[in-house]
Structure 1
Amino acid sequence: MTIQAAFTLIINTLGPLQGNREAANIAHIVIEHITGMGRMDRVIYKDKLLSPAQEEQLQQALNALLKHEPVQYVTGKAWFYGLEFTVNRNVLIPRPETEELVEWIVKDTHTPVKILDIGTGSGAIPIALKKDLPAATVWSVDVSAGALEVASQNATQLNLNVHFEQIDILDTTATHSLPLFDIIVSNPPYICESEQKDMEEQVIAYEPRIALFVPDNDALLFYRQIGLLAKEKLVPGGLLYFEINEAFGKEVVALLEKQGFKNVILKQDLYTKDRMVRGEN
């Protein structure tokens, strides 16, 4: 099978399920992963034959994709903030909206700072911050050992120094040893259990539930707990940043104001959805 034939096979297989445009996007990702060739090389060498091992890899990828496994898990790679991250089912796939949160923090930061990221997952937020704020000292915590293994691997691969620790942020005794920070940022679990019915199958079936869902009767669980921690661990004038569920923007603002944060700002993403909140200690 040639490279062009493999590309066509992916589109013909996935097109009826996802549409030809999305199938083509996936085909580009998969073929580049299998061959190591960029788009231009794949045009020039479109008649180059895949090896038997590459054909087997292609078939395994197609089988996984037909079961709705995200292409990022199939290839083990995802791009975020111009960086290539290793991902697997221990971590969420980084989203473009979260890049806007990183950009907001970078724009606000003009001096060397100490940053704490809570719920690191793949390490996307702290590693991206360290990339653009090289003078910053960056810490990151997660409850999942599997996620921390992925995050540490990404920091090593990208040659960016981030300090990782396994901490359950809901365990108040576990957070006592944390030092003071200038900035605390978190993209915590914020999807209500009842919202599952409206979500894509590939998210529900493959991405880690612990990083996604909160109980319907306590949607602000993590915002409340992290807010309390931030009041204790932020220096005076320190900043707390959150990514939020678009349905609870006003509620998160009200919560932070009740906890004593000043100048609380609700910010929309590029899709004009309430997506980020910042408060000052």
Structure 2
Amino acid sequence: MTFYEAQQQLQKALTELYDDREAANIADWVMEHVTGLRKIDRIIHKQSPLAPEKVNLLQEYTRQLLTHKPVQYVLHEAWFCGMPFYVDENVLIPRPETEELVEWVSAIGNRHSVDGKRQTAETLRILDVGTGSGCIPVSLKKKLPQAEVYACDVSEGALAVAARNAAAQETPVNFIKIDFLDAGSWSLLPEVDIIVSNPPYIPQSDKNTMFQNVLAHEPHLALFVPDNDALVFYDAIARFAQSNLVSQGCVFVEIHEELGQKTKELFEGKGFYAEVKKDFQGKDRMVKAVLSSQFSV
């Protein structure tokens, strides 16, 4: 089987589940992973034979993909902020929208100030709540190498993945296992300049409208919250920030696109000035919050 034949066979199989464009994109990704060659190189060598062990690997990947398993979990690879991250079913697949959250945070850090107060890179401390794959803290450490970065999660499996990614990218991050909803565990966390989080925020009732590949493979612990308490993590983050955020510190959180105003009002109700920011699709996606008494300084 040649490179060309292998790709055409995979792409044809994927059209059972995906439209032509997505099937082609996934086939390209898989073939690059299997062969180690970029698309242009595979085109040049399209008549080259695919080694038998590579054929077997491709067949196994195809089998998994046809069960609706996301390609990122099949290849154990997801790209975020220009870097490859190891992912498995202990963690969510990093999304492009979250890259915008990282950019917002890093813009503050790169100015070495947090809402007007001068900081040095050495003193900037950042905490990621609910780190999952570690894509947020690892990316922030890359962008702000002199910052001290912390990350916490309740899942041992997620923390193992995050630590693996931090090691692979040579980005020291302090990982801490806690249940963030248990206020009694907050003493294990440091006082910080910036709190960032992409916490669970999808109401249980939204399961009815979600894609099957998400429901079947991505960890529900990192996705869903009760319908009657959809902002439970934001409430905990706001309360934690009241005691563990330094003067002039900021909170940056990713949010449910339909709960932007409610999330903003939650922070405002706890004494913060808050603003909602839209993502590249024009959807409410992020909130920045700072204590009102600090904001006026």
Indicate the TM-score class for this superposition, using the shorter chain for normalisation: over 0.9
Deviates more, 1:36-45 or 1:132-141: 36-45
Instruction: Report the aligned-residue RMSD.
Output: 0.8
Shift in Å at residue 55 of structure 1? 1.0
**1:82 aligned to 2:88?**
no
**1:194 aligned to 2:211?**
no
Instruction: State the secondary structure of the residue aligned to 2:188.
Output: coil
Structure 1 residue runs of 5 or longer lacking an equivalent are: none
Query: Which of 133, 146, 156 matches 1:135?
Result: 146
Structure 2 residue runs of 5 or longer lacking an equivalent are: 113-120, 292-297
Q: Which residue of 2 aligns with 1:273?
A: 283
Q: Which residue of 2 aligns with 1:158?
A: 169
**1:21 aligned to 2:32?**
no
Q: Which residue of 1 aligns with 2:49?
A: 49
Shift in Å at residue 39 of structure 1? 1.3
Whole-angstrom CA distance in 1 between matches of 2:245 and 2:156: 25
Q: Which residue of 2 aligns with 1:243?
A: 254
**1:224 aligned to 2:231?**
no
Whole-angstrom CA distance in 1 between matches of 2:181 and 2:32: 41
Shift in Å at residue 197 of structure 1? 1.1
Shift in Å at residue 177 of structure 1? 2.6
Instruction: State the secondary structure of the residue aligned to 2:165.
Output: helix
Instruction: State the secondary structure of the residue aligned to 2:79.
Output: strand
Instruction: State the secondary structure of the residue aligned to 1:179.
Output: coil
Q: Which residue of 2 aligns with 1:39?
A: 39
Whole-angstrom CA distance in 2 between matches of 1:28 and 1:50: 15
Whole-angstrom CA distance in 1 between matches of 2:31 and 2:81: 22
Give percent identity, aligned residues only. 49
Whole-angstrom CA distance in 1 between matches of 2:199 and 2:69: 23
Provide TM-score, normalisation by structure 2: 0.93
1:38-60 per-residue CA deviation (whole Å, 9 max, x = no partner) reads 11211111111112211111111
Q: Which residue of 1 aligns with 2:115?
A: none
Whole-angstrom CA distance in 2 between matches of 1:173 and 1:16: 50
**AA partner of residue 8 (structure 2):** T
Whole-angstrom CA distance in 2 between matches of 1:178 and 1:194: 32
Q: Which residue of 2 aligns with 1:68?
A: 68
1:213-268 per-residue CA deviation (whole Å, 9 max, x = no partner) reads 00111100111011101111100110001000011100000000011112x11000
Provide TM-score, normalisation by structure 1: 0.98
Instruction: State the secondary structure of the residue aligned to 1:99.
Output: helix
Structure 1 stretches of 4+ moved >3 Å: none
Shift in Å at residue 173 of structure 1? 1.1
Instruction: State the secondary structure of the residue aligned to 1:277.
Output: strand
Q: Which residue of 2 aligns with 1:123?
A: 134
Whole-angstrom CA distance in 1 between matches of 2:99 and 2:134: 12
**AA partner of residue 134 (structure 1):** P
Shift in Å at residue 116 of structure 1? 0.2
**AA partner of residue 231 (structure 1):** Q
Instruction: State the secondary structure of the residue aligned to 1:176.
Output: helix
Query: Which of 171, 174, 193 matches 2:182?
Result: 171
Shift in Å at residue 17 of structure 1? 2.1
Whole-angstrom CA distance in 1 between matches of 2:202 and 2:171: 30
